[in-house]
Amino acid sequence: MKIDHRFIFAEAAKHGWRNPSSGRPTSAREAGALFGAVDTQGTDPGDPQPGAGAPEAYHLDRVGEIELDLSTRYLIKGVLPSAGIGVIYGQPGSGKTWATLDMAFSVALGGLWQGHRTRQGAVVVIAAENAHNIRQRARIRLQREGLDPQTPIYVLYGGARMVNLSSNESLALMIERLVAIRPVLVVIDTLATAMVGDENSAQDMSAAIRGIKHIQHALGELESFVLVVHHSGKDESRGARGHSSLLGAVDVEILVKGDSYSVTVEGTKCRGGPLMEPLYLKLSVEEFARDEEGDPIDYVRLVPAPAQEGATTQLAAAFGEPQPANRVQPKGVNQRSLLACFYRMASPRHGVEGVPEGAMGAPLGELISAGAVGLVHVHSTGRNSREARQRQMAEQAVAKLVADGLLLQCGDWVLGA
């Protein structure tokens, strides 16, 4: 028999408990004695029993006796912790799958990911959609870079069964395959395909989150990270698509913005730590082979974009000026987002009155408009509409970047400082 609140209340009534309206134990001692009198005979034999060798359901530590752990725990330093769950999201075609595969290979190889150290270990990509495409992308990279075929990176995908995070049976079958490998990183691509129901429903999203957590717990809560690939809605500034319980559940949230050439990866949430600094990347594309009809099959990977060091570095180099090593960094998500937007928009300017020839710049109004749309997790306040609030915050972020010397305002233009 399982002991739940109904059982406890029934047993308590046998020992003198009454409804609050008619009286109940009034002291902690009386309450403790009352609940201590509950008869546990008939408890399910599978339940933990008190006594020697029984596992502790809960631990109670005095803070002064907790051993300090000063070790650095990370999977990708400054990006992903060693354990937890996260979401990486963006518009279709933004490059989020390329970014995720890039992380996966770096972890499997134990090398740097875009300048960030990694903890080497096995990686499994659960391809809930486009399994053939993901398998081919990974295989092409492995072969093109001459990597060891035994590199511990795997793709798990549905054969006779679809991937379903809400199904206990599906989860059990997936976990059976995963525990044999003990991956330090599990990627689920994508959440929309791996869950059942409406992603805007609290109930359906919660069921999917439970499935994700079940995978992470089965692999060891302190030993693995589950990263879910997801989409943003039409309004990218509203964050990842679907019910807000997803944002509350994850430890890390990463936004990917991009197109067929440039990709920006930036952190929008990191529980218990600083947000990752934005990465400004580009897609490097080269022909790998030809298909049976003679069309090219491409090898694609992410590499640092020319603006990775910042448009300010480009401008300083153009004028032969040294760049200080202790340059001020942008503060907060909004400033990083607006600076990333500037890097994407900036281009050499020629023949613009008041602007140095060849300077990297962008029109101020266009920068604010484009940057405002990219601000995430912005809510309306009072009489201000959400759009007005976004624009106000974008203007404030640009003003602060100019005040800190990260950008220069030249009339109606913004330039690299």
**Structure tokens that stand for 272 in this block:** 């218990």
Can you tell me which residue has the tokens 């589950």? 226
Decide: pTM greater than 0.85.
no
Note the Cα 395 to chain centre separation in Å. Answer: 27
Looking at residue 54, the DSSP 8-state letter turns out to be: P
Average pLDDT, the chain: 80
Partners of 212 in the β-ladder? none
Q: What is the pLDDT of residue 160?
A: 61
Fold assignment, 84-304: Rossmann fold (3.40.50)
Q: What is the CA radius of gyration of the chain?
A: 27
pLDDT reading at 311 higher than 60: no
Nearest to 175 by CA among 217, 237, 236, 119: 217
pLDDT class of 249 with cuts at 50, 70, 90: very high
Answer yes or no: are the C-beta atoms of 264 and 256 closer than 8 Å: yes
The span from the CA of 9 to the CA of 18, in Å, is 9
pLDDT at residue number 14: 62
Q: What is the pLDDT of residues 182-221, one digit of tens each?
A: 999 999 998 999 998 899 899 999 999 999 999 999 998 7
Q: What is the pLDDT of residue 307?
A: 44
Q: Which of 152-161, 229-238, 322-331, 359-368 has the lowest mean pLDDT?
A: 322-331
Nearest by Cα to 378 from 236, 283, 205, 267: 236
Instruction: Report phi then psi at 132, rounded to 5.
Output: -60, -45
Cα–Cα distance for residue pair 260/132, rounded to 1 Å: 21
Q: What residues have CB less than 8 Å from 28, skipping those under 6 apart? A: none
- Among 107-111, 158-162, 269-273, 396-400, the range with the most confident prediction by mean pLDDT is 107-111
The answer on pLDDT for 47 being more than 50 is no
Token pair belonging to 410 = 């030249």
28 pLDDT exceeds 60?
A: no
In the chain, pLDDT over 90 holds for what percent of residues? Answer: 39
The pLDDT value given to residue 349? 74
Of residues 375 and 326, more confidence is placed in 375
Sign of CA dihedral 304, 310, 316, 318: positive
Handedness of CA 44, 50, 53, 55 (dihedral sign): positive
Q: List, as own/partner pairs, every contact residues 284-288 make where C-beta atoms lie below 8 angstroms and the sequence separation is at least 24, other chains included.
A: 288/140, 288/144
Strand order in the sheet with 225-231: 153-157, 123-127, 185-189, 225-231, 84-90, 252-258, 262-270, 279-290, 296-304
Q: Which pLDDT band holds residue 33 (cuts at 50, 70, 90)?
A: very low
> What pLDDT is attached to residue 385?
75
Long-range contacts of the stretch 326-329 (C-beta < 8 A, 24+): 328/404, 328/405, 328/406, 329/277
Q: Which two tokens mark 133? A: 């495409």
Would you give the end-to-end CA distance of the chain in angstroms? Answer: 71
pLDDT 10s digits, 96-146: 999 999 999 999 999 999 989 999 999 999 999 889 999 999 999 999 999
Q: With beta carbons less than 8 A apart as the criterion, state whether 364 and 349 touch.
A: no
Task: Using alpha carbons, select from 306, 85, 53 the residue that is nearest to residue 185.
Answer: 85
Q: Which of 73, 71, 77 is nearest to 267 (CA)?
A: 77
Q: Please, which pLDDT band fits residue 411 given cuts at 50, 70 and 90?
A: confident
Domain ranges of the chain: 1-40, 84-304, 307-416
Strand, coil or helix: what is 276?
coil
Site of tokens 């999203």: 205
Q: What integer pLDDT is reported at residue 208 of this predicted model?
A: 94
Q: What angle do CA 255, 257, 263 make, to 5 degrees?
A: 115
pLDDT tens digits, residue range 53-100?
556 678 899 999 999 887 778 999 999 999 999 999 998 888 899 999
What is the average pLDDT across 353-360?
75
Q: How far is CA 409 from CA 330, 332, 333, 337, 399, in A?
A: 16, 20, 21, 18, 9
Structure tokens at 290: 């030809």
Asked if pLDDT for residue 20 goes beyond 80, the answer is no
- Cβ neighbors of 323 (< 8 A, separation 6 or more) are 312, 313, 316, 317
Distances 279 to 126, 185, 252, 326 between C-alpha atoms, Å: 25, 21, 16, 19
Q: What is the pLDDT of residue 403?
A: 87
Lowest mean pLDDT: which of 261-265, 298-302, 364-368?
261-265
What per-residue confidence (pLDDT) applies to 55? Answer: 61
Query: Pairing relation of β-strands 262-270 and 153-157?
Result: unpaired
The pLDDT of residue 250 is above 60: yes
In the predicted model, is pLDDT for residue 26 greater than 60? no
